[in-house]
């Protein structure tokens, strides 16, 4: 007999499945402000419930604020305040209101005028697919479907924008008998993924609704018609307890299959990677993986007597201490996955300094708030609770992802400093470029004016502008035009001045900003000095 076969058909005396459906984008202040009328036409609603949901119960709220702490006293006070819902600025807890709870438990909401005989008490039934039934048959387990009891749905919304709808399930056989380990495993896998559920009458077993997935119903309860159908992988935390003694290795293997969502088709190795074990006790074994976690309780053949503290272990310890540990770890994981993705900017965003600054500020603020409010090195005064917390941190790579996020932020800041420096250099170059052309135009004009003055004065030595009184004014022909001889120095000076200015501007263009602004700055200072001397008449 293989190790898996040693527990596959064993009865699970007590169990509980927690499915943590991730719900993002719901405001922590207002919460899921929905009434039952919003889901009347949604998935998972039996036909005979739609009239009451749209009418009699249409205005009934689906959710109500849960301010009663369901967490254990062993947590540190600030941890207990966060996960228990007392710090509503950091985490708010919501639970199903009475009418919504009746809906998910038995689908028993009707209009007042509906006859009692027409009212049907229902239950959710999970159908095994062909592959699951074949695997069950290989272990001599004849089972085609299981009854799914939704014991509770608690919605926890965090200030970070992430949230989780923790859905608590119990499975049973159609005859209300307890399930085997194999049935629990197959049921958990299907409930967390693509398993289809139908509402059936508790008396005649008549189907009362089309098939639906549990994820569709839960997301509809939180988001209403905004819920999108998506093939998500839902993380789980499952508790299983055996009444019969089993070897420790067998219970550890069962915990691995539950945590990794592995059916019996997967033959795992003894040193499987990606799973962290917490096994301080032979009777209580934990396995934690990325897909989920499991706590398996039982005794060994060598010591078959069950300790007293295990009798209420599910309600007293697992539910009040271990599930909150998983919730905090999954929230940190969701935050880090999202922020490490948000730290990657597109090329267009990287070139936009304003957008880069805004994104970096948002990221740094979010990281600071998270570090101060949600990241905990130690949760409890009990070693076992902290050991489980470290196991979650290990398999979810929380510390590594935090380091990567810090590196991303540091890279952002380096890029931002370079971007600011480049922007300052660009503005400085733009300023010098404008000043350069202004000074070049002024310098060209100054050179032309200087050439005009020199030429006029030089030619004036030979050609006097004004003759003696009564003397006959002389004329010359230039380009077919008759011009007084006295005007020649001015005309020649004007032409040479214009040519000098043009020549200077051409040289300035050829030796423009492309030549480097260090030389331009020197030239600017020289020209500025020349202009000042010209104005001063030196």
Taking only the tens place, the pLDDT of each residue in 263-317 is: 999 998 878 999 999 998 999 999 999 999 999 999 999 999 988 888 889 988 9
For the segment 84-96, the average pLDDT, to the nearest whole number, is: 90
Distance, in Å, from the CA atom of 477 to the CA atom of 84, rounded to the nearest integer, reads: 107
pLDDT of 413 reads 73
pLDDT reported for residue 531: 45
- Per-residue pLDDT band at 5 (split at 50, 70, 90): very high
Burial 363-397 (b: 16+ CB within 10 A, else e): beebbeebeebbbbeebbeeebbbbbbbbbbebbe
pTM score of the predicted model:
0.78
**Residue pointed to by tokens 């005007």:** 487
Q: What is the mean pLDDT of residues 187-211?
A: 87
Mean pLDDT lowest for which of 15-19, 366-370, 478-482, 511-515?
511-515
Q: Does 154 score more than 70 pLDDT?
A: yes
Q: Is the pLDDT confidence value at 537 over 70?
A: no
Helix, strand, or coil (residue 292): strand
**What's the CA gap between 114 and 198, in Å, rounded?**
23
- In this predicted structure, the answer to whether residue 519 has a pLDDT above a threshold of 90 is no
pLDDT > 80? residue 523: no
What's the pLDDT at 406?
81
CB distance 234 to 70 below 8 Å: no
Q: Is the pLDDT of residue 481 over 80?
A: no
Structure confidence at residue 236 (pLDDT) = 97
Token pair 């189907």: residue: 207
Mean pLDDT of the chain: 85
User: Mean pLDDT, to the nearest integer, of 342-366?
Assistant: 69
* Cα torsion angle, 74, 78, 83, 84, sign: positive
State the average pLDDT over residues 374-380: 89
Pairing of strands 235-242, 292-297: parallel
pLDDT at 515 over 80: no
pLDDT for the residue numbered 443: 73
Q: How far is it, in rounded angstroms, from Cα 247 to Cα 319? A: 25
Looking up tokens 């602004």 gives 517
The contacts of residue 476 (CB under 8 Å, 6+ apart) are 482, 483, 484, 485, 488
As a whole number of angstroms, the distance between CA 107 and CA 532 comes to 94
Residues 311/297, Cβ–Cβ less than 8 Å? no
For 160-224, the DSSP string reads: TS-EEEEEEEEEE-TTSPPPBHHHHHHHHHHHHTT--EEEEETTT--B-S--B-HHHHHHHHHHG
Whether residue 337 is predicted with pLDDT greater than 60 in this model: the reply is yes
DSSP codes joined into one string, 231-248: -PPPEEEEEEEESS---H
Mean pLDDT value of segment 103-126: 92
Check residue 538 and give its pLDDT. 46
E-strand ranges in 305-412 read none
Exposure on the CB side of residue 469, measured as CA atoms within 13 A: 0
Q: What is the pLDDT of residue 518?
A: 44
Spell out the residues 6+ positions from residue 22 whose beta carbon is closer than 8 angstroms to its own: 162, 163, 164, 232, 234, 235, 330, 334
Question: With 0-12 CB in 10 A as exposed, 13-18 as middle and 19+ as buried, what is 213?
Answer: buried
Enter the DSSP assignment of 278. E
CB 202 within 8 A of CB 123: yes
Rounded CA separation 220/192 (Å): 16
Residue 343 pLDDT: 52
pLDDT given at position 526 = 47
For the chain, which residues make up each domain, given as ranges? 5-308, 430-536
The CA distance from 331 to 90, in Å, is 12
Lowest-confidence range among 22-36, 50-64, 224-238, 273-287? 224-238
- Mind listing the pLDDT tens digit for each residue in 128-146? 999 999 999 999 998 889 9
Q: How many CB atoms lie within 10 A of CB 130?
A: 7
pLDDT surpasses 90 at 396: yes
CA atoms of 14 and 494, how far apart (whole Å): 109
Mean predicted confidence (pLDDT) in 470-479 = 68
- The proportion of the chain whose per-residue pLDDT surpasses 70, expressed as a percent, equals 88
CA distances from 511 to 300, 437, 505, 515, 525 (A): 91, 11, 10, 6, 16
Apex 188 CA angle, 182 and 189, nearest 5: 95
What band does 536 get if pLDDT is binned at 50, 70 and 90?
Answer: low
CA distances from 30 to 94, 134, 408, 527 (A): 11, 47, 33, 68
């Amino acid at each position: 007999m293989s190790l898996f076969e040693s527990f596959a058909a064993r009865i699970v005396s007590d169990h509980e499945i927690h499915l943590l459906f991730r719900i993002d984008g719901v405001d922590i202040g207002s919460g899921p402000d929905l009434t039952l009328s919003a889901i009347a036409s949604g998935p998972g609603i039996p036909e005979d419930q739609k009239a009451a949901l749209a009418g009699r119960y249409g205005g009934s709220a689906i959710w109500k604020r849960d301010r009663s702490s369901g967490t254990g006293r062993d947590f540190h006070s600030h941890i207990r305040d966060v996960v228990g819902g007392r710090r509503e600025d950091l985490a708010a807890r919501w639970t199903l209101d009475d009418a919504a709870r009746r809906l998910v438990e038995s689908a028993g909401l009707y209009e007042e005028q509906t006859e009692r005989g027409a009212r049907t008490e229902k239950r959710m039934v999970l159908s095994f697919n062909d592959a699951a039934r074949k695997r069950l048959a290989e272990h001599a387990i004849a089972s085609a479907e299981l009854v799914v009891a939704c014991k509770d749905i608690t919605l926890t919304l965090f200030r970070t924008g992430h949230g989780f709808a923790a859905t608590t399930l119990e499975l049973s056989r159609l005859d209300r008998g307890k399930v085997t380990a194999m049935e629990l495993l197959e049921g958990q896998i299907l409930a967390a993924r693509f398993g289809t559920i139908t509402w059936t009458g508790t008396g005649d077993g008549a189907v009362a609704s089309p098939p639906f997935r549990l994820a569709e119903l839960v997301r509809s309860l939180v988001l209403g018609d905004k819920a999108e159908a998506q093939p998500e992988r839902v993380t789980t935390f499952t508790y299983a307890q055996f009444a019969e003694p089993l070897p420790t290795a067998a219970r550890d293997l069962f915990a691995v299959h539950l945590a990794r969502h592995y059916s019996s088709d997967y033959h795992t190795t003894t040193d499987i990677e990606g799973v962290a074990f917490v096994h301080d006790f032979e009777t209580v074994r934990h396995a934690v993986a990325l897909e989920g976690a499991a706590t398996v309780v039982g005794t060994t053949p060598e010591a078959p007597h069950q300790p007293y503290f295990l009798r209420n272990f599910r309600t007293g310890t697992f539910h009040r201490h271990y599930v909150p540990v998983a919730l905090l770890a999954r929230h940190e994981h969701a935050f880090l996955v999202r922020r490490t993705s948000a730290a990657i900017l597109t090329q267009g965003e990287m070139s936009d300094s304003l957008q880069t600054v805004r994104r970096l500020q948002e990221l740094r603020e979010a990281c600071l708030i998270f570090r101060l409010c949600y990241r905990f090195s130690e949760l409890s005064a009990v070693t076992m609770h902290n050991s489980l917390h470290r196991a979650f941190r290990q398999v979810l790579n929380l510390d590594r992802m935090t380091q990567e996020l810090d590196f991303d932020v540091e890279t952002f800041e380096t890029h931002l400093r370079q971007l600011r420096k480049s922007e300052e250099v660009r503005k400085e170059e733009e300023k010098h470029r404008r000043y350069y052309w202004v000074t070049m135009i002024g310098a060209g004009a100054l050179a032309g004016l200087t050439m005009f003055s020199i030429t006029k004065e030089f030619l004036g030595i030979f050609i006097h502008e004004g003759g003696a009184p009564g003397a006959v004014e002389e004329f010359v022909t230039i380009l077919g035009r008759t011009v007084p001889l006295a005007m020649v120095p001015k005309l020649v000076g004007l032409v040479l001045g214009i040519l000098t200015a043009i020549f200077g501007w051409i040289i300035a263009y050829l030796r423009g900003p492309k030549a480097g602004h260090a030389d331009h700055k020197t030239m600017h200072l020289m020209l500025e000095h020349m202009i000042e001397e010209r104005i001063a008449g030196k």
